[in-house]
Amino acid sequence: MNMIQAINSAMEVMMARDPAVVVLGEDVGYFGGVFRATAGLQKKFGKTRVFDTPITECGIIGVAIGMGAYGLRPVPEIQFADYIYPALDQLASEAARLRYRSAGEFTAPITIRSPFGGGIFGGQTHSQSPEGIFTHVSGIKTVIPSNPYDAKGLLIAAIEDNDPTLFFEPKRIYNGPFDGHYDHPVQPWAKHDGSEVPEEYYRIPLGTAKVVRAGEAVTILAYGTMIHVVSGVVAASGVDAEIIDLRTLIPLDIDTITASVEKTGRCMIVHEATRTSGFGAELAAQVQERCFHSLEAPIERVTGYDTPYPHSLEWAYFPGPVRIGEALKKILKD
């Protein structure tokens, strides 16, 4: 399966298992979603379980919270993560705090799916990576898969989870992994290990990172599309790097991270999102606090620049192989 098919399969499995699971969002019903992630679901489960909504993100999330309070398990879609901001109040003030403020009387067991990230010439409003805004909000979990197998298992776990969970889908790798070489032909998922996806139910627990490549020289923390970019750079450079796919940012798998950095003594963090106050800053702070005596070099961050996501200069902005390669040389120099 490609990533879209895996995500579609996760929803189909969960809707068949649990009648409380409902899917809502702009164009998700009859049409099956602008990325086809919900294709066929309305036909199979009916209009009262999979339905199109008006174009109002605060409404989509607000309604999903109310459905959750009733006892349903809604999976709302925000068409692009760039358009999640109208729903920020409902997410940060309501979904994230409902359990806390009612001392558990009411909860928001909702999973917000949203395509995110750049590398597709999406310009300013089809490329953003806003995960850092949400990891800053207590009460929300944040999940970002990097391959079809993980996408299905993590999405199933997110839907089953009783806390509100953001599920950001790197749309650059919906149809195939992307190593950052935009001038090379796109590789389909079929050639990648992660494309073997069982048809049936399985779950990957939230809060578990995955060591994508074991190594001794440096720890690289990344997620989403960046896993593939980093893997390409590491393979080409011959550096014995340990690459960790975080998979969930909140809860964070801190043990896997610290064990790795204590072993390698070096830590590089890679994300597409802008640098200042990005999630990389939290990762760097955690590693610095916990692995201070193991560190042999300053922690490196390779991220998007602190600018809005540009259109024509996309490949200068995107933290691609060249920038990651340079940072790798730098961190290994000392």
- Contact residues toward another protein (CB under 8 A) are 22, 48-49, 53-54, 56, 58-59, 61-72, 74, 86, 89-90, 93-94, 97-107, 138-139, 141, 161-163, 207, 250-252, 254
Q: Cα separation of 25 and 14, whole Å?
A: 17
Least Å distance, CB 330 to another protein, is 30
Nearest residue (CB) to another protein, 89 versus 296: 89
Nearest residue (CB) to another protein, 162 versus 277: 162
Least Å distance, CB 300 to another protein, is 23
Least Å distance, CB 34 to another protein, is 20
Would you state the torsion angle of the CA atoms of residues 119, 300, 260, 202, taken in this order, to the nearest 10 degrees? -20
| Inter-residue contact 90 to 45 (CB < 8 Å) | no
| Inter-residue contact 53 to 60 (CB < 8 Å) | yes
Q: Cα separation of 195 and 149, whole Å?
A: 6
Nearest residue (CB) to another protein, 89 versus 199: 89
Half-sphere exposure of 96 (CA within 13 A, CB side): 19
What residue type is assigned to position 269 of the chain? I
Residue 142: strand pairing partners: 166, 250
Residue 126 catalytic? yes
Q: String of b and e for 6-42 (b: at least 16 CB within 10 Å)?
A: bbbbbbbbbbeeeebbbbbbbbbbeebbebebbbebb
- Closest C-alpha among 246, 236, 238 to residue 271: 246
Nearest residue (CB) to another protein, 106 versus 121: 106
| Inter-residue contact 42 to 68 (CB < 8 Å) | no
Angle at which helices 3-17 and 148-160 cross, to 10°: 30
**52 φ, ψ (degrees, to nearest 5):** -75, 150
Least Å distance, CB 5 to another protein, is 27
Nearest residue (CB) to another protein, 64 versus 212: 64
Least Å distance, CB 193 to another protein, is 29
Stated as kind and residue range, the H or E segment containing 269 is: strand 267-274
Least Å distance, CB 282 to another protein, is 10
Nearest residue (CB) to another protein, 43 versus 329: 43
Q: Cα separation of 330 and 334, whole Å?
A: 8
Tell me the catalytic residues: 126
